Amino acid sequence: MLSNKKKYIVNGNSGIKAQIQFADQKQEFNKRPTKIGRRSLSRSISQSSTDSYSSAASYTDSSDDETSPRDKQQKNSKGSSDFCVKNIKQAEFGRREIEIAEQEMPALMALRKRAQGEKPLAGAKIVGCTHITAQTAVLMETLGALGAQCRWAACNIYSTLNEVAAALAESGFPVFAWKGESEDDFWWCIDRCVNVEGWQPNMILDDGGDLTHWIYKKYPNMFKKIKGIVEESVTGVHRLYQLSKAGKLCVPAMNVNDSVTKQKFDNLYCCRESILDGLKRTTDMMFGGKQVVVCGYGEVGKGCCAALKAMGSIVYVTEIDPICALQACMDGFRLVKLNEVIRQVDIVITCTGNKNVVTREHLDRMKNSCIVCNMGHSNTEIDVASLRTPELTWERVRSQVDHVIWPDGKRIVLLAEGRLLNLSCSTVPTFVLSITATTQALALIELYNAPEGRYKQDVYLLPKKMDEYVASLHLPTFDAHLTELTDEQAKYLGLNKNGPFKPNYYRY
> Which residues inside 278-337 make contact with its own copies, applying CB under 8 A?
280-281, 284-291, 299, 307, 309-314, 318-337
CA–CA dist 387, 404 (Å, integer):
8
CA torsion 443-448-451-452 (nearest 10°) is 110
CA–CA dist 76, 84 (Å, integer):
11
The conformation of residue 196, written as its DSSP 8-state character, comes to B
**Least distance (Å) between residue 149 CB and its own copies:** 30
> Taking Cα atoms as reference points, which of 435, 459, 463 lies closest to residue 449?
463
The conformation of residue 373, written as its DSSP 8-state character, comes to E
Find the distance separating the first CA and the last CA of the chain, reported in whole Å. 36
List Cβ neighbours of 485 (8 Å cut-off, separation of 6 or more). 493, 495, 497
CA–CA dist 333, 314 (Å, integer):
8
Q: Is 207 annotated as a binding residue?
A: yes
Amino acid present at 180: G
Cβ atoms within 10 A of the Cβ of 483, count? 6
**Least distance (Å) between residue 383 CB and its own copies:** 11
Name which of 124 and 237 has its Cβ closer to its own copies: 237
Per CB under 8 A, the segment of 14-22, 152-160, 182-190, 215-223 that binds its own copies is 14-22
Name which of 121 and 413 has its Cβ closer to its own copies: 413
Q: Is 266 annotated as a binding residue?
A: yes
**Least distance (Å) between residue 409 CB and its own copies:** 10
Q: Is 61 annotated as a binding residue?
A: no
Binding its own copies by CB under 8 A: which of 72, 125, 218, 398? 398
The conformation of residue 3, written as its DSSP 8-state character, comes to T
Name which of 223 and 265 has its Cβ closer to its own copies: 265
CA–CA dist 109, 102 (Å, integer):
7
Q: Is 300 annotated as a binding residue?
A: yes
Name which of 202 and 282 has its Cβ closer to its own copies: 282
CA–CA dist 337, 130 (Å, integer):
39
Q: Per-residue x/- mask for its own copies, residues 478 to 507, rule CB under 8 A?
A: xxxxxxxxx-xx-xxxxx---x-xxxxxxx
List Cβ neighbours of 254 (8 Å cut-off, separation of 6 or more). 228, 229, 230, 231, 443, 446, 447, 459, 460, 461, 462
- Where in 425-484 is the site for its own copies (CB under 8 A)? 426-432, 467-469, 471-472, 474-475, 477-484
**Contact call for residue 242 and its own copies (CB under 8 A):** no
**Contact call for residue 276 and its own copies (CB under 8 A):** yes
Q: Per-residue x/- mask for its own copies, residues 19 to 48, rule CB under 8 A?
A: xxxxx-------------------------
> Taking Cα atoms as reference points, which of 273, 269, 272, 309 lies closest to residue 292?
309
**Contact call for residue 82 and its own copies (CB under 8 A):** no
Name which of 230 and 432 has its Cβ closer to its own copies: 432
Q: Is 446 annotated as a binding residue?
A: no
- Where in 248-267 is the site for its own copies (CB under 8 A)? 258, 260-261, 263-265
Annotated binding-site positions: 133, 207, 232, 262, 266, 298-303, 319, 422
Annotated binding-site positions for NAD(+): 298-303, 319, 422
